[in-house]
Structure 1
C-alpha cells in the first residue's frame, strides 16, 4: 500500500520555488541585502561538491564491478559518446541557424575598439590554457587521492573506471570489496538526501545574490539575445529532446515533472552540479541500471552540454552582428568546426560556457574577442538556461542509453512515468523514499 502523499508545503520543489521567489524579491527591493546573502548559496554548493566525487566514484566502481564483462563497459561508453557527439553537434548547428534567422545583434553597430575588455581577459587566459593536449594530460591525477582533493570530475571518472575494471577482473576475490563499497554508496546517497534538505536555503541565497548584484535591468539592453537564447533552448528541449524521448518510449514533459525539484534547484543556483547526485539517484529509481547511470551522467556533465553548445554559436554570431561583421558561410562553418573541438577541450572547467566561447573566438579571427565584453554582464542570467538545458539533456541521454542496452527495469520505469502512478508516493515507496 503506497504511503500517504506529502502535503504541498513539504514538497522540496515547492520549498525551492518559494525560496527562489523570496530571494528574487529581496535581491530586487534590497539589493545590498541580496548580495550579502551570497554565502548561503555558496555554502550549499560546497556541501554538494563535498559529496559529488565520492558518489560518482562509488556509483561507477560498483556498477562496472557488477557488469558481466568488460565488453559491456566499452559498449555502453561507446553508445554514450556517440549520442553525446551527435546531439552536441545538433545543438551547435541549431544555435547557428537561429542566430542567422533572428539576427539578435543586428543594428547595434558597436565599435570593438570602444569596449572595455579587462574583465574578459581572465577568461581569455583560461581559454588559452585549455589546449587539447593540456586537457588530456589533466585527466590523469597526480595521485589516487588527488582527484578527490581537487574535485576534478574527469579525474574522478578516470580513477573510478580504472578501479571498477580492476574489481571486475578480480573475480571472486574482489567481491568483498565490491559489497563493502555498495554499502558505503548507500550511506552516501542517504547523505545526499540529508544535504538536499538545505536546498531551499541555498537557492534563496544564490538567487537573492544574482538579482541583487546584477539586477533584472541588466537584461534589458540585451533582451533580444537573452530572449532568443531562452526560446531556442526551450524549443530544443521540447522538440529535439522531446522527439528523442518519444522514440525512447517516454514523454519529455513527464521527465521534467519527475525532475522538477532538481530543475528548480539548478535554476536557483545557476549550477547543474548542485543537482548531480540527486539526478543519479533519481535515474536509478526510474529503473536505469547503476552501471549505465554511473557512466552516462558524469561523462555527460563534461561532454553532453547541449545548452552550452547552443550558447556558443548563438553568442559568437551575436557578437559578429553587433560589431557589424558579415561572416561568410565558409567562416561560419569554420566557427562551427572550432566550436565542436573547443567544447570538448573545456569539458569539466568551471565557467565552461564563457571560457569555451573565448577559446573559440581566439582561434577564429573573423569575430573580435573583445566583443565578449558585450555579454559578460548578462552571462549569469544565460548560465541558468545553459545549466537547465544541459541537465535535461543528460537525463534524456541516460534513459536512451539504458533503452539501447535493453537494461532498463520496465516495471519501475512504467511506475515512474505512468500518468496515473506518477508522484512521490507511487515512485518512491518504502524506506528509501526520496525527501522530495
Structure 2
C-alpha cells in the first residue's frame, strides 16, 4: 500500500503535471487567431463554429511544432521537468575538423518532422484535460466538507453533482477528490514520459545518423592516433638513439656529436608540427594545414636516421612523382614505421630501404638485422604494440598487400605492395 503511494509523494510527479499545464497555457495566444474563421462564419451553428475553432487551433499548434527551435525547447524542458534522457536532435551542427562549411546535414525525413507537432498536440491536450479535471477535483476537495460551506455543500457540473452530508462522509469524499487529483497528475506525467522518447527522441533515421556520426568520430580519432604513433613514436626513437650517439661521441668526435644533436633538433621540430596539428583537431579548433609528409620527404627521413648512427641503404626505382596524394602520404608513414621498428629492434648493420614504382603498383620494403643493437636491450624502447596492426589497417584501407616477418635467420623484412589506381 505504502509502496503504491510513493509515486504520489515524489516532486517529479507534480513537476511533470506542471509541465503539461504550462503547455496548455502556452497555447492560449493562438486561440484568438484560431477563432477568426468561426467569427467570419456567423451563420454556422455554435457546434460547427466550436469544432472549426478547435480544428484551426490544432493546425496552428502543429505548425508551431514544425520549427526546429520548438523541438529544442521541448527537449530541454522534457529533460528538466519529466526527468527523461533525450539526446540533442540530429540536424545541422558543427563537424570538428571537416572541410568546407563543417556541418553534418540533417537526416530527418518529412515523416520524422511530424513527430514534434504530434508531441505538441498531445502535450496541449493532456495539459488542458488534466488542468480542468485537477481544478475540479481540488475545488470539490475544498468545498465538500460541511464545515467549510454548510451541510448541503457540494459541486455540480453540467447536471452532474456531488454532495456529501456533514460529518465523516464529507471529509472522506474530499480526501478522495484530492487523492484523485494526485493520481491524475501521476497519469499525466507518466503519459508524457512514455511519449517523450517516442516523439522527441531520435527516430530510426536519426539513430542511423547518430551511429554514422559516431563512426566518423571514431575513424577520425583512429587516424589521429596513427598520426601520433607514427610521427611522435619515430621521433622519440630516433632522438633516444641520437642522444646516445652524441653522448658516446662527445669527447672522441665532437663533430659527430654535433651532427647527432642537429638530428635531434630537426626530428623534434617536425614532430612538433605534427603534434600541433593533432592537438588542434582534438580541441576542435580550426587547425592549420595538416603536415603533408610524402615520399618527397623520404630523403630527410633517411638523413635523420643517418644522424642517429644508422647505416641506410636506399634502393629507389621508378618515377616517384607519379605517386601523389593519399597514397604518397600513406607510403611515407609506412616507411617511417618500418624504419622506426628497425631502429628499436634491429641489431645494427645496414637497413635496406626499397621504394619501387610501376605503372600500376608501388612496392615498399625495409630489411634489417634482428636483435638488440648498440648494446641496448629491447626493453630500452617500450612499445604499445600498435605498430604492426596500424600498418595492417593502413594497407587494408588502400587495398594493398603486406608481409612482415623473419627473412632468413638474422633479418626481419617488411614488404608492402600498394595499387596506384585504387579499385572503384
TM-score (norm 2): 0.20
Larger radius of gyration: 2
Greater per-residue strand proportion: 2
TM-score (norm 1): 0.20
Greater per-residue helix proportion: 1
